[in-house]
Amino acid sequence: QQQVKQSPQSLIVQKGGISIINCAYENTAFDYFPWYQQFPGKGPALLIAIRPDVSEKKEGRFTISFNKSAKQFSLHIMDSQPGDSATYFCASRVGSQGNLIFGKGTKLSVKP
């Protein structure tokens, strides 16, 4: 019930391509879905987040697509750049005081 399943574990994309990372959850009480980006030696940085009352949110090259009925959400990185190479974590939370439940992470490599 508390799990967040993330795929793929690793992803290699050519520069300029689209990177897609998927997450699925089971707990329908989750009401906040952030994505974090982590570079080696750094803490996770909040990238973009969505609430279940919208189906899509876009910030620059980053888009979250949210499918409430399927209990799935995904991160799309358009025009992927080598500087996007990092580990990406999806997460879910119940309520404003709730704890974040993290997926296992996706290591993205963007080849020049």
Partner 1 sequence: SAVISQKPSRDICQRGTSLTIQCQVDSQVTMMFWYRQQPGQSLTLIATANQGSEATYESGFVIDKFPISRPNLTFSTLTVSNMSPEDSSIYLCSVGDSRMPQHFGDGTRLSIL
Q: What is the secondary structure of 54-108 as a DSSP string?
A: -SEEEETTEEEEEETTTTEEEEEESS--GGG-EEEEEEEESSTTPPEEE---EEE
Our finding on whether 44 is near partner 1 (CB under 8 A) is yes
Strand order in the sheet with 4-7: 4-7, 19-25, 72-77, 62-67, 56-59
Our finding on whether 83 is near partner 1 (CB under 8 A) is no
Of the pair 17, 27, the CB lying nearest partner 1 is at: 27
Side chain identity, residue 87:
T
**Secondary structure of residue 12 in the 3-state scheme:** strand
Of the pair 69, 96, the CB lying nearest partner 1 is at: 96
CB of 16 to partner 1, least distance (A): 28
Our finding on whether 46 is near partner 1 (CB under 8 A) is yes
Q: Which stretch binds partner 1 (CB under 8 A): 23-31, 41-49, 50-58, 76-84?
A: 41-49
Interface residues with partner 1 (CB under 8 A)? Answer: 32, 34, 36, 41-46, 49, 89, 96-97, 99-100, 102-105
